[in-house]
Structure 1
Amino acid sequence: MSLEELPVWLPDWCREHLGSEPVSVLFGMRRISTVAGLRLADGREVVVKTRADEGRAASCVAAQARLAERGFPCPRPLTPVVRVEGLAVHAEACLPGGEMLHGDTPEVAADYAVVFARLMSGLAQVRVAPPLPNPRWVRWDHAGPGLWPPIGFLDDRDQGPVLAEVMDAARRARARLLAAGLPNVLGHADYEAQNLRWHGRELRVVHDWDSLAWQPEAALVGAASGTFANTGPPTLAPVESSAAFLDAYQEARGRSFTTAEHEIAWAASIWPAAHNARWEALHQQDPLCGNALRAQAEERLRRADA
């Protein structure tokens, strides 16, 4: 990404909200959000994030700001959310450095779980409006008529390539999740290796606070137990590593899950993988998540009592 590729409104936005204009692009990425690392004329390095405004962004950025104020290692927001041409835009501090922690062994899972417990403990002290609707990969609680949350650009495709095994796993996991009867809490719903940076086994920073969700704690932990090892195209961690993640999380939080919470955690570990397996099938991608889910679904569903 170059300066010429930035939105035409961005230099003026930076001058108005940051007091200086961009002079170079440090990095750029376009996925669900557009993320641009910029060097400003006054020498500061910042990150500007732009995404479609579903009404979630203000709560996500406010929660991120509260955690940063309390010393949690996440980028400090430099502006509130500002709406520009129907988009939600904000700037945050640039925190470069660190490396991804690779691996999906039980030992690595435990490291990630301890950080997730610290993150969830911090968010438990934050009061913001629930960031709804939830991110689509944890939106099993949608009010639409079908199995999947309504997503036009996916729903318009021929669903034939989505394997019946994926549909069955998603359906059974969703039914168990909807029967949870547990209170919702604030949590990070895109807890993947690619969104964290470490110095050795010491955490440097957690990114992607756009992906906060409002779901039961056990469900958020369960989802993270399946996704924590993703460093690129998503897959599903081994069952024994998800189990280690759940055990280490409970130990770090100082309380044990109830039987129902254990079941909800295992059900939630399936839903993001099913969402990703559907995506792979509809986009004719290598079925990394689909294959992992097919191999593990019955054991995870058994543990979920689904």
Structure 2
Amino acid sequence: MASPAVPEWLVAWCRKHLGSVPSDVLLVSEHMSEVYGLRLADGREVAVKARPDQSGREATCVEVQRFLALNGYPAAAPVTGVTVTGGRAIHAEEWRPGGELSRDDSPAAAVRYATGLARLVGLAAGVEVGGSAPGAVEPPLPNPEWTRWDHDEPGPWPRNPHHDGRDESLVPAYVVDAARRVRERLAGTWLPRVLGHADWESQNIRWDGDRLHAVHDWDSLAWLPEAAIAGAASGAFGSYAEPTLTPVESSAAFLDAYQKERRGFSDEEIEVAWAASLWLALHNARGEALHRQPPVALIAVREQVDERLRLAGA
């Protein structure tokens, strides 16, 4: 019999795809996806991740994660591909515990986070996207809803099952106005797209001193202009327990450090980066308002919105 923490579908999946069944539970987490840290009966330790199937983007995320791990990036290496069972996209990867969370959103911390992201984007450029060569993957589309400013829905926001149908009058006018302006700014760019991590928050990253120990949440891979990848991360990297917006000076330090690692951005890219830095916080501020949650992102946006809009040319 399965432990109460291990549903029967997971026991059956492990037996079929891993050749063993769970004997101990190391971790259970349910947020946007289900994550089970398991010790199997044969002694192996794995993480099994399940999330709603999104028409194939999960397979790309896992294959890019596999490529990065094989090339020395601190990501857990997948040990299976993606299978779809009962509407869930499921895969298993190495169990990679340890490392420390950081609460630091200072300019000095920004440099460390930017360097880690720049290395990721540089390595991921080795993955062929949309081609026919062996190992090529499809773009991981649609992008996560918190970076999906290129949607074709009416209004500034894409569809989101967590928010749709709620009272939009709860969202402050300054959030809605800024979202319209940022989306218009981002929709007007035609920069080339790259693979990158679109949820570069401290809660998804573990450190060993100043060295990256592990990057998690590869479901959040995105296909966006590089400046947008870097910009979104520059605003989000300080989010520890609740999503927020890092100080403007820390975002500036992040973007400077990222460019030193990768390449200098054009004036257009700088504006795109600042626009993207604000979009995630607007997404989170809207969610706080709709769900009547404590105003963490709402306050940060209210304090920084004018300066970030100016830097974004929006």
TM-score range, shorter chain: over 0.9
Structure 1 outlier segments of 4+, above 3 Å: none
Matching residue of 1:100: 101
SS for the counterpart of 1:83 is: strand
Matching residue of 1:28: 28
Q: Which of 127, 135, 139 is the equivalent residue of 2:148?
A: 139
Q: Does 1:217 align with 2:226?
A: yes
CA contact (8 A) 1:101 1:201 kept: no
Matches within 5 A, 1:213-292: 213-253=222-262, 255-292=263-300
1:8 is displaced (CA, Å) by 1.6
Matches within 5 A, 1:106-255: 106-127=107-128, 128-253=137-262, 255=263
Matching residue of 1:50: 50
Matching residue of 2:134: none
CA–CA distance in 2 between the matches of 1:231 and 1:222? 18
CA–CA distance in 2 between the matches of 1:132 and 1:3? 36
Matching residue of 1:6: 6
1:303 is displaced (CA, Å) by 0.5
In structure 1, list runs of 5 or more residues that go unmatched. Answer: none
CA contact (8 A) 1:266 1:301 kept: yes
1:117-138 Cα offsets, whole Å, 9 max, x none, are 0011011111221111110000
SS for the counterpart of 2:32 is: coil
CA contact (8 A) 1:64 1:77 kept: yes
Matching residue of 1:295: 303
Q: 2:300 corresponds to which letter in structure 1?
A: A
Q: For structure 1, which segment, 10-19 or 151-160, has the greater mean C-alpha deviation from structure 2 after superposition?
A: 151-160
1:61 is displaced (CA, Å) by 0.4
1:153 is displaced (CA, Å) by 4.0
How many corresponding residue pairs? 304
CA–CA distance in 1 between the matches of 2:197 and 2:69? 15
CA contact (8 A) 2:5 2:28 kept: no
CA–CA distance in 2 between the matches of 1:247 and 1:163? 32
Matches within 5 A, 1:18-97: 18-55=18-55, 56-97=57-98
1:152 is displaced (CA, Å) by 3.7
CA contact (8 A) 2:5 2:25 kept: no
Matching residue of 2:133: none
CA–CA distance in 1 between the matches of 2:159 and 2:244? 23
CA contact (8 A) 2:275 2:308 kept: yes
SS for the counterpart of 1:3 is: coil
CA–CA distance in 2 between the matches of 1:302 and 1:263? 9
| RMSD value, Cα | 1.0
SS for the counterpart of 1:300 is: helix
1:196-235 Cα offsets, whole Å, 9 max, x none, are 1111111111111010011100001000000001111111
CA–CA distance in 2 between the matches of 1:81 and 1:152? 23
CA–CA distance in 1 between the matches of 2:3 and 2:97? 20
1:164 is displaced (CA, Å) by 0.3
CA contact (8 A) 1:265 1:304 kept: yes
CA–CA distance in 2 between the matches of 1:179 and 1:265? 13
CA–CA distance in 2 between the matches of 1:137 and 1:90? 23
CA–CA distance in 2 between the matches of 1:299 and 1:278? 19
Q: 1:292 corresponds to which letter in structure 2?
A: A
Q: 2:23 corresponds to which letter in structure 1?
A: V
In structure 2, list runs of 5 or more residues that go unmatched. Answer: 129-136
1:44 is displaced (CA, Å) by 1.0
CA–CA distance in 2 between the matches of 1:171 and 1:220? 20
1:145-202 Cα offsets, whole Å, 9 max, x none, are 2210012441201111100000111111111000011111111001011111111111
CA–CA distance in 2 between the matches of 1:166 and 1:59? 33
CA–CA distance in 2 between the matches of 1:154 and 1:100? 29
Q: For structure 1, which segment, 234-243 or 198-207, has the greater mean C-alpha deviation from structure 2 after superposition?
A: 198-207
CA–CA distance in 1 between the matches of 2:152 and 2:189? 16
